[in-house]
A and B are shown apart, each in its own frame.
Chain A
């Protein structure tokens, strides 16, 4: 069974540009989560999508947005990039919504560097 796949693995952008990160969940998983892992800060929750809808978002500005496609893959967009957006962006999928306590299964992330 293929795991969660993310692309690209590395992305270098200039301040003010836009970045698009992509994620394919494990087959059969309908929930997709995005987390930011910046140096020294741990994993910070960004967004949760389920069945094509945004269900919850973390404490991040609106320039962080995304969507989930009918095949459950997902895209994270970061507009007006700032230097502090440099981080590892992790996508995770789960079989069920949070009340069922399904563990999250993570991809290997996209390393975004903003110069």
Chain B
């Protein structure tokens, strides 16, 4: 059974204070690891897909990296508008749906 654990559950940062969110996973044959952003009252918004260890993807202040056991979402010089819950999900070779972690709620204080 695929499993995803995200840490920390919540993170408060000052504007401009860089940090990282962690996603640890166990999966039988990783097909892809996905990062989403979810704002309150909205559905998750797709950010990145990572396919293999060593891969990196960037979008504005966000950079996602992948190893064989975990993924990190690095946030550089965050702004208040980056405040959201960030979700990690995996797709395994033996399953037909994404398995999601519970998310990290990020708050960026001006």
Contacts and interface: CB of A to CB of B under 8 A. Distances in A.
A48 B101 contact: no
A103 B88 CA distance: 12
Contacts of A105: 46
B31 A101 contact: yes
A98 B49 contact: no
Contacts of B51: 101
Contacts of B100: 35, 42-43
B49 A101 contact: yes
Contact of B98 (A4, A55, A104): A104
A108 interface: yes
Interface range, B side:
20 to 34
Name the residue among B41, B51, B97, B102 with the largest chain A CB count within 10 angstroms: B97
Given A56-B96, A98-B96, A109-B42, 16 more contacts: A33-B97, A43-B89, A43-B98, A45-B99, A90-B43, A98-B31, A98-B91, A99-B31, A101-B31, A101-B32, A103-B46, A104-B98, A106-B36, A106-B45, A108-B42, A109-B43
Interface of B: 31-32, 34, 36, 41-46, 49, 51, 87, 89, 91, 95-103
Interface of A: 4, 33, 35, 40-43, 45, 48, 55-56, 58, 90, 92, 97-99, 101, 103-109
